């Protein structure tokens, strides 16, 4: 007997620009490039990332599943629209579990950092949600061993504690994988796609 089901298939890429590349672009542009600048330069063939790390899979945590099912039945909750979309990275290598409510590194400026997704993200098309989040040269400079999506209402303020980023924030997913160490002067973009099928 066939059984209907749905899969949560998440894949992320960490797109890295090293300090020398960032310094060159900053000198040429007169200001540090933002995520949309980097994507535009890539799209017209004038720039290539210095490094890309693939990070397939993650865990849909209980708070995330609860939010998804509530939205499906119109039970309330904040949707993952741009104004509410949070992407976090942290240093903890502790295994992710469905009961997680924040990154393992949550609570310390040197072990976690959450911020709003890039302008125009997340976007959705034919069952695929895409979210890009660019960490500028002075942000999240530590070993990236975990990442997440989260959402909250109200004004989002970047920080190192999920509970302080916005109003009633909730963790949606959690992935633990060594992604490298971001250093001052570098710019990294976490580009993640979620396919529901």
Instruction: Copy the structure tokens of residue 191.
Output: 């580009």
In a domain, 2, yes or no: no
Global pTM?
0.92
Question: Torsion-angle region of residue 45: left (phi > 0), alpha (psi -120 to 50) or beta?
Answer: left
* Whole-number Å distance between alpha carbons of 98 and 96: 7
pLDDT tens-place string over residues 159-168: 999 999 999 9
* Whole-number Å distance between alpha carbons of 15 and 49: 6
> CB of 114 within 8 A of CB of 158?
yes
- Surface-to-core class of residue 149, CB atoms within 10 Å of its CB (0-12 exposed, 13-18 middle, 19+ buried): buried
* Whole-number Å distance between alpha carbons of 41 and 37: 6
> Residue 140 pLDDT > 70, yes or no?
yes
In a domain, 23, yes or no: yes
* Whole-number Å distance between alpha carbons of 55 and 10: 9
* Whole-number Å distance between alpha carbons of 14 and 52: 6
Give the residue numbers spanning the domain of 179: 9-196
> CB of 70 within 8 A of CB of 64?
no
Across residues 96-116, what is the average pLDDT? 97
Report the domain count for the chain. 1
In a domain, 18, yes or no: yes
**Average pLDDT value for the chain:** 93
Radius of gyration of the CA atoms of the chain, in A: 17
* Whole-number Å distance between alpha carbons of 97 and 75: 25
Residue written as token pair 């001052």: 184
What SS3 state is found at 147?
Answer: strand
> CB of 150 within 8 A of CB of 114?
yes
In a domain, 3, yes or no: no
Kindly state the helix (H) or strand (E) to which residue 41 belongs, with its residue range: helix 35-43
> CB of 119 within 8 A of CB of 144?
no
Rounded percentage of the chain residues whose pLDDT exceeds 70: 97
pLDDT tens-place string over residues 43-99: 999 999 999 999 999 999 998 888 887 777 777 777 777 889 999 999 999 999 999
Instruction: Copy the structure tokens of residue 18.
Output: 């090293």
Residue written as token pair 């069952």: 127
In a domain, 178, yes or no: yes
In a domain, 100, yes or no: yes
In a domain, 4, yes or no: no
């Amino acid at each position: 007997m066939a059984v209907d089901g749905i899969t949560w298939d998440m894949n992320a890429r960490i797109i890295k620009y090293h300090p020398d590349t960032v310094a060159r672009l900053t000198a040429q542009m007169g200001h540090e490039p933002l995520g949309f600048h980097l994507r535009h330069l890539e799209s017209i063939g004038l720039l290539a990332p210095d490094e890309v790390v693939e990070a397939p899979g993650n865990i849909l945590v209980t708070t995330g599943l609860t939010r998804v099912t509530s939205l499906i039945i119109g039970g309330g909750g904040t949707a993952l629209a741009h104004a509410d979309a949070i992407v976090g990275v942290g240093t903890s290598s502790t295994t992710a579990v469905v009961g997680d409510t924040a990154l393992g590194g949550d609570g310390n400026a040197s072990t976690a950092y959450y911020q709003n997704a890039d302008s125009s993200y997340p976007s959705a098309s034919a069952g695929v949600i895409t979210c890009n989040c660019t960490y500028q040269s002075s942000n999240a400079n530590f070993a990236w061993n975990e990442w997440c999506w989260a959402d909250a209402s109200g004004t989002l303020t970047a920080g190192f504690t999920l509970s302080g980023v916005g109003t009633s924030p909730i963790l949606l997913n959690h992935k633990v994988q060594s992604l490298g160490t971001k250093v001052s002067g570098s710019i990294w973009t976490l580009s993640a796609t979620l396919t529901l099928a």
